[in-house]
Structure 1
């Protein structure tokens, strides 16, 4: 007998359909722009699983939009809030 799902789990590794949706484009459009995205540092899919790391995708979007500097993505909300406070007080 299969066990019932006790709590939802948000997957970290996601297929191209989810990545395209996260970026707000269709899968077809993602296929058209994928090389340009990767040339600009967009993460590649995992070579074994074939899926994309959603955190890496989010970090890339954050860096492109200026929310974080490249390579310094923050997933801990308390750190993110502290950085926001520091920026606010620096003005």
Structure 2
């Protein structure tokens, strides 16, 4: 190999290492965010369960509120899953 092609190969390898590093960082960030979100959802769900118990003193209002809370949690979870899927798909296209 001549000096020019060696330099180009070295540059290509350098870019490849950098891209692999970015990919690993992005995957780690997505995983960390997913874990943190799941933990937050668990805390929210536990809080909602406690709220349901407290609201049990007013049955009709309590059930209505509980249904609204459950719907909000389900919607938030769906948005989270959709976001993680889109990020994963975007990363797959890059790498």
- TM range, normalised to the smaller chain? under 0.3
Structure (1 or 2) with the larger CA radius of gyration? 2
Higher strand share: 1
Higher helix share: 2
Higher RCO (CA 8 Å, separation ≥ 6 residues):
2
